[in-house]
Chains A and B, each alone.
Chain A
Amino acid sequence: MNICTNYAALLDAYVDGELAAGEAERVRTHLETCPDCRAYVDDALAIRAAFPTVEETPVPEGFAESILARLGDAPAPQKKPRRQYWSALAPLAACFAVVLIAGSLVRNRGASVGSTSSSAAPAAASAETYSMDATQESEAAAEVSAAGAAQEPATPAEEAEDLSGGSQLMAIASTPESAALDLSGTSAAEEGRDNSSPSQNRAASAKAPADGALLLPQAAEPFLSDYEPTVTEDGRLYTLTAEGYDRLLSALAEAGIEAELPSPLSEEPVYLLLPGA
């Protein structure tokens, strides 16, 4: 009455439909010739058949009402503190900030830097920002301003190295506000450039990373005519209030447009990206 050792790890997954087709077929073939393993599978299915279903679960009378009555004592749902909301976005802002710096520095000097070196930095940055405390953040942000100015004579290749290895730079985006402000100050003012792309500036002023925005289906476009998008390389970036976002969700739902969008996270603005040019 012992199941085969070779199949012990597979039988439950087989019963639960968790095996890949090839493995399931192997088990099925084995079951035809092994009465013990077959007995195990049959018993497992019999046990399953004997389990009650969710639908059969009795609900005590007045169950929902009694919970709602207890809500009277409990405070209404609390909005998450602002800091927590921003801290959730901080890694994304960090990515955006570093990419923005890298992109603007490189483009300004008409140099070509491989995308791999600049894209490596954001990944490291997002990881590093988690461990930064408030003191380090502000100190590091100050250092970045200085570093940005001192970088003027550096060659593009050296800059790329700085971006991927410089811990001060990675720390800049500890909060999105400081990231966006520092960025516009550092890159535009200190570099004195006038040829930065409009989309970059607008994206920075929106304080939202395009790569952190929620993706909209193309069919949502007609529902966004009231909003002025920021054009980015990835598409059009919309900033909606929580209320506006809620209205958009309702409108999409009414129109029967499938969109995998979450419910509003809080009262904070929501960033939405309509991919494409």
Chain B
Amino acid sequence: MDLQEQALLSKARRGDRAAFGELIVRYQKQVLALTRRMCPTAEDAEEAAQEAFLAAWQGLPSFRGEASFSTWLYRLSSNACVDLLRRESRRPAGPSLNDEEARLDLPDSALSPEAQAERAELRAQVEAGLRALSPEHRQVLVLREVHQLSYEEIASVLSLDVGTVKSRISRARGSLRKILLASGNFSAPAPSKRTGKEGCK
């Protein structure tokens, strides 16, 4: 937690709404990145994200800094999604407004138009595959791949032990891979993306 964030937290805890607004802007993408993949529609995702920030506002006095602010916020976001899904008894599978969003890939000048199209296609498939997973599996995979949290950090967010996180990630990734392979469109991407990430030869 940087000092500026600490100062913002300190002010927000005393009721400074402008400071809390700055914290929202700092973390809105992280929170929405999680809620959009946990909730069935973009509207639900926005609602859950708002609920998470409202819960943060209410809970600031009891936030003791044991976990980082982001970890705590992810936990609140995750809870908000679970609450929303339960409240509305919805299942996240099925068509979603996120489909369209998933295809709105940002241009990557390093890639050819064809490669960009392939990447956008694969991304759409990954998003669709994610929605076919159980919320528990989707959650760990999103926190790992989108938020790039370590197993330990994910365990802290979800109040799980690291062993459970490890096995969930393994099952979630295995399931997602099967879904993508079964779709028939999942093919090995360009070599440059296949190697070098983790030192695999």
Determine the distance from Cα of A67 to Cα of B91 in the docked complex, in whole angstroms: 26
Q: Which chain B positions have C-beta within 8 A of A80?
A: 61-62
Determine the distance from Cα of A47 to Cα of B142 in the docked complex, in whole angstroms: 12
Q: Which chain B positions have C-beta within 8 A of A152?
A: none
Q: Which chain B positions have C-beta within 8 A of A262?
A: 64-65
- Whether B75 is near chain A, meaning CB under 8 Å from some CB there, is no
Whether B21 pairs with A54 at a CB distance below 8 angstroms is: no
Q: What sequence of 0s and 1s flags, for each residue 75-95 of chain B, a beta carbon within 8 Å of any chain A beta carbon?
A: 000000000000000000000
Q: B120 → chain A, closest Cβ, in Å?
A: 9
Q: What sequence of 0s and 1s flags, for each residue 115-147 of chain B, a beta carbon within 8 Å of any chain A beta carbon?
A: 000010011011100000000000000001111
Whether B24 pairs with A12 at a CB distance below 8 angstroms is: no
Q: In the complex, which residue of chain A has the Cβ closest to the Cβ of B5?
A: A263
- Whether A28 is near chain B, meaning CB under 8 Å from some CB there, is yes
Interface size on A, residues (CB 8 A): 60
Chain A positions 70-90 with a Cβ under 8 Å from a chain B Cβ: 70-71, 74-80
Whether B123 pairs with A50 at a CB distance below 8 angstroms is: yes
Whether A53 pairs with B189 at a CB distance below 8 angstroms is: no
Q: A256 → chain B, closest Cβ, in Å?
A: 9
Chain B positions 177-201 with a Cβ under 8 Å from a chain A Cβ: 177, 180-181, 186, 188-189, 193-195, 197-201
Q: Which chain B positions have C-beta within 8 A of A66?
A: 50
Please tell me which stretch of A57-65, A91-99, A125-133 contacts chain B, meaning at least 4 of its Cβ atoms lie within 8 angstroms of it: A57-65
- Whether A26 is near chain B, meaning CB under 8 Å from some CB there, is no
Whether A15 pairs with B102 at a CB distance below 8 angstroms is: no
Determine the distance from Cα of A15 to Cα of B176 in the docked complex, in whole angstroms: 15
Q: In the complex, which residue of chain B has the Cβ closest to the Cβ of A38?
A: B200
Whether B198 pairs with A43 at a CB distance below 8 angstroms is: no
**Binding site secondary structure of chain A:** helix
Question: Which residue of the partner chain, among A18, A56, A60, A74, contacts B54 with CB atoms under 8 Å?
Answer: A74
Q: B134 → chain A, closest Cβ, in Å?
A: 17
Q: Which chain A positions have C-beta within 8 A of B101?
A: 58
Question: Which residue of the partner chain, among B10, B102, B198, contacts A52 with CB atoms under 8 Å?
Answer: B102
Q: In the complex, which residue of chain A has the Cβ closest to the Cβ of B31?
A: A57
Q: Which chain A positions have C-beta within 8 A of B150?
A: 16, 18
Q: B70 → chain A, closest Cβ, in Å?
A: 11
Whether B180 pairs with A67 at a CB distance below 8 angstroms is: no
Q: Which chain B positions have C-beta within 8 A of A188?
A: none
Whether A54 pairs with B126 at a CB distance below 8 angstroms is: no
Q: B37 → chain A, closest Cβ, in Å?
A: 9
Q: Which chain B positions have C-beta within 8 A of A246?
A: 10
Q: What sequence of 0s and 1s flags, for each residue 140-177 of chain B, a beta carbon within 8 Å of any chain A beta carbon?
A: 00001111001100000000000000100110010011
Which of B3, B169, B176, B195 has the most chain A CB atoms inside 10 A of its CB?
B3
Q: A61 → chain B, closest Cβ, in Å?
A: 11
A sample of 20 more A-B contacts (CB under 8 A), given A45-B193, A57-B36, is A15-B173, A16-B169, A18-B151, A31-B201, A42-B195, A43-B186, A44-B173, A46-B188, A47-B145, A48-B197, A50-B126, A51-B126, A54-B29, A63-B32, A64-B21, A67-B24, A77-B60, A78-B61, A80-B61, A253-B3
A interface with B by C-beta (< 8 Å): 8-9, 11-18, 24, 28, 31-32, 38, 40-60, 63-68, 70-71, 74-80, 246, 249-250, 253, 262-266
